[in-house]
Structures are given as structure tokens and as C-alpha cells.
Structure 1
Amino acid sequence: MDLSPPPASAQARTLTVLGLESSCDETAAAVLRRHGDGRVEVLSDIVLGQEAAHAPFGGVVPEIAARAHAEAIDGLARQALQASGLTLADMDGIAATSGPGLIGGVMAALMTAKGLALGAGKPLIAVNHLEGHALSPRLVEPLDFPWLLLLVSGGHTQLISVEDFGRYRRLGSTLDDAAGEAFDKSAKVMGLGFPGGPAVERAARTGDAHRFDLPEPLQRRAGCDFSFAGLKTAVREAWDSIPEPDDQDKADLAAAAQSAIASHLAKRTERAMAVFAEAFPHLEHPMPLVVAGGVAANSEVRAALKSAAERQGFRLIHPPSKWCTDNAAMIALAGAEHLARGETDGLDAPARARWPLDADAATLSPIVGAGRKGPKA
């Protein structure tokens, strides 16, 4: 990507961008208009889920996801353009997720975007999926930098200081599994269905969260990192200890698992809030805490984060669920911001399974934990 200094008029440009997303199990396309004054209009926004295809397996199967993306992405791009009332010729650029994610899925959106960009003579913008999440609150309101981001989904659990466009500092990350994976695996153990987060939340409504004593991860570890592998194991062991589990057993263990995940997220995020506040002592209160990713839809997680934010003098911001989970509107927004600064990509832009938002932290201070099959980085 060309990172030469943008022209002085860059921020005053009004840009319309087609965005494509296919990094996990959501195929998405959107058309977004970014005005020169910072206002954002989402002109169309279409997401096609794959829950039914993956439900029999209790989790996302990469090969199935990649095939579904490849079959759907062309038609979805066409639908997004039609819904916006515009044509490909009206676009100022084509943006697509180029990582991180399941590599077969990432390739679907990126290759489609390359074809459209080449055929229409439009600039290509290869977008970091995590940057899309980082900027997602601007789909709703013109939020000023900086803000603290908790990205919490099936594939990612990270705390990031979003200090400016293109300047992101990792404060914490998971040492093993993401929070969303802990929900999915807990649901699978109890036979609650897929996706696991909503299934666990439904079951937990009639459960007693205090019946099972689940461990609190990383009690003796300083910093803002997370760990969910031990919690997953504890849920499985608790389930296996019940001779003939019934619906109430499911509800109680679901409530305990959900409470433990929410508590861990809130406690480590509260530590990150203190670090962020120290870094920006003159920032007006309440300071912004943005939570994005599919797990942000969980009501107990949001309630725990809201209480923690209030204790630390922060304001909790969570975009609507449709823009918390994977979507193409956030990809189009990130693409428009890059395009406004003259930052575009060539047709050789790679698809990446891994693409850290804070490259310096990933290089100088990699997150390494222990997994069942060996070290995890």
C-alpha cells in the first residue's frame, strides 16, 4: 500500500466505495459514502450467513465456508450495487478484506474485488478486517480519536488503543482461544447448538450462575491479556461430572460459563482502561470504550463492561449488532478512509491468514500461550 503523504484536500473528498467481506462465515457486500465532513452514509448493506451449513459440526468448517463464499460473493456485490441505486461506474474504489481470517474465505472477497477493480478501472483497497472493526463506531456517530477498543468475537479477543487512523496499539490479547470460541465450545459440550453465543445466552436465562464454581483465568498474571482455554476445559469437566444432565443442568452451567466469560472480559478491560486513561490524561470524560465483534451482542457481557466503564470514567459504545458482527459496511468505511489519503493497493495484494493491527507489538512482543497441540502464537 502506498503510504505517501496525502494531499491537503484529502479529508474534504466525498467518496463512494463498494466493500466486500468474507473472512469467516459471513459473506457481505455494502456500498458506503464517506462525506468530506466525516459523515457516513451506508447506502446498502447485505450479509449472508452460513449458520445452517455449519450447525451440524458445532463450529465453522473452513472448506464449507470458502465454497459458500465463492458461490455467493459475485451475486451479493451485484445486489449491494442495485440496492444502493448506483452502478460500478459510480464507485470511487473497491475495498475488500484481505486478512486476517480463514484464507479460503478471504480469497473470495479479495479476488472478486480485484476482478471488479480491474474490469472497471477502479482503485483497489485491501483492508485489514481488524481495522474495519476498529473504525466501526464511525458508522453510527462521528467519533473523534482516540478510543479504547475491545474486539471480542469467535476469532479475536483484543484490547486496542485506537489512537488515530492507521495508529493502533495493542494493550492485550488472548493467550489461547477467543471468547467467542469459549461460547461455541461450551455450547457444543452441552448440546445447545450453533452459533454458541446466542445458544448459551438463551439457556442461561433460567440458570443459576452460582451453582458451578468455574475458575477465574489469569488471576496471578499482570497486564491486560486474556485466556479462555482453561475455562473451556472446566465447563467440559463440570458437564462430564453430571450423571444424567437435564435442562436445568444445562441452564445452570450455561449461566456459570457466561458469567465467567463476562467477568474475565470486564476485569481485563478495566485494567486496559486504566492504561488508556494514563496515556491520555487530558481526554475529556467520559472516555470512549468501544466494544465490537459478535460477542458484543451478549447482554451479560455488555452489562459487565458497562459497569466497569462507569467505574473507570468511560462511556460504553457498542455499534448495532449488524455492525458489531462481520459486515462489509465497516470494510467499505476503512477503504474510503485509505482512499481519501491516497492509499491504494496493486492487484498483487496478498490474502493473509494473519495480519496484526499492531505490527510492532506482534514482532517485538508476540503473544504466546500453551495449547493442547503445543505453543500457540
Structure 2
Amino acid sequence: MSAKNTYILGIESSCDDTSAAVICDGKVLSNIVANQEVHAKYGGVVPELASRAHQQNIVPVVQQAIEQAGIKNEDLSAIAFTRGPGLMGSLLVGTSFAKSLALGLDIPLIDVNHMQAHILAHFIKEEGSKIPEFPFICLTISGGHTQIVKIDHHFQMEVLGETIDDAVGEAFDKSAKILGLPYPGGPLIDKYAQLGNPKAFQFTQPKVGDLEFSFSGLKTQILYFIQKNVKENANFIEENLYDICASIQYTIIEILIKKLKNAVKQTGIKHIAIAGGVSANSEIRKRLITAEKHWGWTTYVPKFEYTTDNAAMIAITGYLKFLDNYKADMSVSAKARLKVTE
């Protein structure tokens, strides 16, 4: 191997996916994700079960990532891992493993903020992908977060607005639960919405600040709407499933786009990116691409595999930190709560 190559191993274990990836000078060589099926029957992630599954998955997943990258452990330049935010038990598995491996190989350890990594996934070098220009605005949307972040440089971020209660991913999943759809329900709402009429049912948008989000009222509104209609017609959901999903999705995406427009108006920045699990939603992707034509924005939509929790985004963030000569202390510990600016 030539000395100039920088190989970073990324380890992600913040929630219920165990993932490991290897990046060479910004390019992904492997990105392995082990999903945990065990949570589906509980209708949500069970922290205790998640951490146990991480313990079982982490060794084979890391081994597979290194093998697929076609390198040996000794070729690694540094190890990046998710420090937080996330489930404490899950984070501890990744943190402990990364520390042990870095110590054993005597290479730098780099701690990564999971939310920064979602945003910085846009800097993965790939054929035909656009790298965002600074400054840009990123709408970070997931099961735990909904934020509008201004990015002046890789590690210079400012939160312009965020949710005052629930995250957008939770609004999708809870709505799906109300409709009796299995967990995780967000992708199913997206799938069925494509077959329905988005204007069939109307839901009111929350009245909050220009760059703030609120989804708890919308969830309650959807719950009461379903209860009322099911009372009148027991088959209401079955008969109107596609239209209900399309109407829910339309309302949520309208809220997101409206806030982005406000952010552009306030900052004058027209470079717009999306990140996080909900950025896999087909409608938000579509709307963002049309925004380029309608409003002259330059938009950055991540590849599907970099939207949900994955280690490639951890590895690229580790790589950017490595270029800045950053190195974590071995006393670094996992943190369940971590702001995107920390």
C-alpha cells in the first residue's frame, strides 16, 4: 500500500443498526450495516435489546467492512466512532470497541457527533455527486431530530431553528401506528402516499416561529381525525389508506419546505441540503429537486444508503477531522445527549 493513502474505519452504533465502513481519502470502500429485526414486534426500539444485538454484531460487521475494503487492520490510519447522541447502551458498545481497536493497533481514535455526520455525509467523494459549497443550509430530519442548520465550514455549524417538541420522523412513525401500520411506519406512509390524493384530507399546520417546527399538535389532530371517522365507518382506514397517507405526507412536507423557504429568505443562502433518515422520503427529495428550477436553489440530496444511520458518514467525518490533525483522548466517553454544534 502506498504511504499517501488515508484509510479511516468508521463505527456507528447510536441506535439499532450496527455499521462499519472504510473510507480511503474520502471515497467509500465498504459500508456494512446489520439491521436488528427484533424491534419490529415491539413497535419501536427496545434499548436493552439493541445494545445486546450490537455486542453480537460488531465484530463480524467490522471484519466484513475491512475485508470488503481489501485492506488489513495494519493499513488503517485512524478509527472514527459515534460518541453521541443516541441510546447510551448502544453507544457504549461502539465506543468500547473503537477504543480497544485503536489501542491495539496504536492508531488515533476520533470521536464523531452523529448529527454532524449526517450533514457531512455530503462530503463523501463519489462519481457524479455534488459536494456542497460553503455556506450552505441543511435540513436535518430524522426520528430524533428536526433542525435547520447553517454550515459555514465542516465543523462550524449554527442551528437556525429546530422542533419545539417532536421530531418529524416520529410524526411519520406515530401516524403510521395510528393507521395500524407496522414499525417503522414512515417508509410505508411514503410508499402508500404515492398511490393517493395529497389533497383528499386537510390538516392544519402548527403556528410557531418562522424557523421552528412543532409536530405534537399535528399527531393529535391525525389521531382525532382517524378516531372520529372510524367511529362513523369501521372500514374508513382500509377504504382511504392511500389518500390518508398522501394527505399526512403532503402536510408534513409542506411544513418542511415552508421553513426552508423562510431560512433562505432570512440568510440569503441558496445552497440547500437535506440529511438524516427522513431525507430518504421520496416526496421531500422530489420537492427539493424541483426547488432548483422554481427558486434557483442549488440542492444537495444524499444517496439513499447515506440517509439512514450508517458508518460511511462516521468515517467521512473522521477523515475530515483527521485532516485537521484532530485526535481524541482515550478517556473520551459516550454521550447520550449531544448538540449538533458540540
**Does the 8 A contact of 1:148 with 1:276 survive in 2?**
no
CA distance in structure 2 between the aligned counterparts of 1:116 and 1:165, rounded to whole angstroms = 26
SS in 2 for 1:222: coil
Offset, 1:223: 2.4
- Of residues 221, 245, 257, the one that matches 1:266 is 257
- Of residues 120, 126, 133, the one that matches 2:111 is 126
2:105 is the alignment partner of 1:116? no
Amino acid at match of 1:124: L
**Does the 8 A contact of 1:208 with 1:256 survive in 2?**
yes
- The equivalences for 1:129-140 within 5 A come to 129-139=114-124, 140=126
CA deviation vs aligned residue, 1:280-299 (integer Å, no higher than 9, x gap): 5xxxxxx4211111111111
Offset, 1:14: 4.4
Structure 1 residue aligned with 2:195? 206
Amino acid at match of 2:29: L
- Of residues 305, 318, 324, the one that matches 2:288 is 305
Amino acid at match of 1:327: N
In structure 2, list runs of 5 or more residues that go unmatched: none
**Does the 8 A contact of 1:263 with 1:304 survive in 2?**
no
2:165 is the alignment partner of 1:176? yes
CA distance in structure 2 between the aligned counterparts of 1:227 and 1:14, rounded to whole angstroms = 45
Amino acid at match of 2:47: P
- Of residues 183, 186, 211, the one that matches 1:224 is 211
- Of residues 343, 366, 373, the one that matches 2:326 is 343
- The equivalences for 1:11-160 within 5 A come to 14-34=5-25, 40-50=26-36, 52-139=37-124, 140=126, 141-160=130-149
CA distance in structure 2 between the aligned counterparts of 1:88 and 1:271, rounded to whole angstroms = 48
SS in 2 for 1:251: helix
CA distance in structure 1 between the aligned counterparts of 2:103 and 2:71, rounded to whole angstroms = 18
CA distance in structure 2 between the aligned counterparts of 1:228 and 1:90, rounded to whole angstroms = 47
**Does the 8 A contact of 1:69 with 1:105 survive in 2?**
yes
**Does the 8 A contact of 2:133 with 2:271 survive in 1?**
no
CA deviation vs aligned residue, 1:308-355 (integer Å, no higher than 9, x gap): 454442122111110111111110111111111111111211101111
CA distance in structure 2 between the aligned counterparts of 1:147 and 1:44, rounded to whole angstroms = 28
Amino acid at match of 1:78: Q
CA deviation vs aligned residue, 1:343-371 (integer Å, no higher than 9, x gap): 11112111011111225xxxxxxxxxxxx
Structure 1 residue aligned with 2:277? 294
SS in 1 for 2:298: strand
- Of residues 227, 236, 261, the one that matches 2:223 is 236
**Does the 8 A contact of 2:8 with 2:24 survive in 1?**
yes
Offset, 1:307: 4.1
**Does the 8 A contact of 1:19 with 1:335 survive in 2?**
yes
Structure 2 residue aligned with 1:37? none
CA distance in structure 2 between the aligned counterparts of 1:311 and 1:103, rounded to whole angstroms = 43
CA distance in structure 1 between the aligned counterparts of 2:190 and 2:131, rounded to whole angstroms = 32
Amino acid at match of 2:31: D
Amino acid at match of 1:49: N
2:341 is the alignment partner of 1:355? no
Structure 2 residue aligned with 1:6? none
CA distance in structure 2 between the aligned counterparts of 1:59 and 1:249, rounded to whole angstroms = 25
Deviates more, 1:143-152 or 1:299-308: 299-308
Amino acid at match of 1:164: H
Amino acid at match of 2:54: H
Offset, 1:254: 1.4
Deviates more, 1:134-143 or 1:294-303: 134-143
**Does the 8 A contact of 2:9 with 2:22 survive in 1?**
yes
CA distance in structure 2 between the aligned counterparts of 1:291 and 1:143, rounded to whole angstroms = 11
The number of residue pairs the alignment matches comes to 331
CA distance in structure 2 between the aligned counterparts of 1:209 and 1:248, rounded to whole angstroms = 15
Offset, 1:304: 3.0
Offset, 1:83: 0.7
CA distance in structure 1 between the aligned counterparts of 2:267 and 2:293, rounded to whole angstroms = 15
SS in 2 for 1:19: strand
CA deviation vs aligned residue, 1:18-63 (integer Å, no higher than 9, x gap): 00001112111000012xxxxx21111111112x212112222222
CA distance in structure 2 between the aligned counterparts of 1:98 and 1:299, rounded to whole angstroms = 30
Amino acid at match of 1:320: K
CA distance in structure 2 between the aligned counterparts of 1:270 and 1:306, rounded to whole angstroms = 14
Offset, 1:247: 1.8
The runs of 4+ residues in structure 1 deviating greater than 6 Å are none
**Does the 8 A contact of 2:99 with 2:330 survive in 1?**
yes
TM-score (structure 2 length as normaliser):
0.92
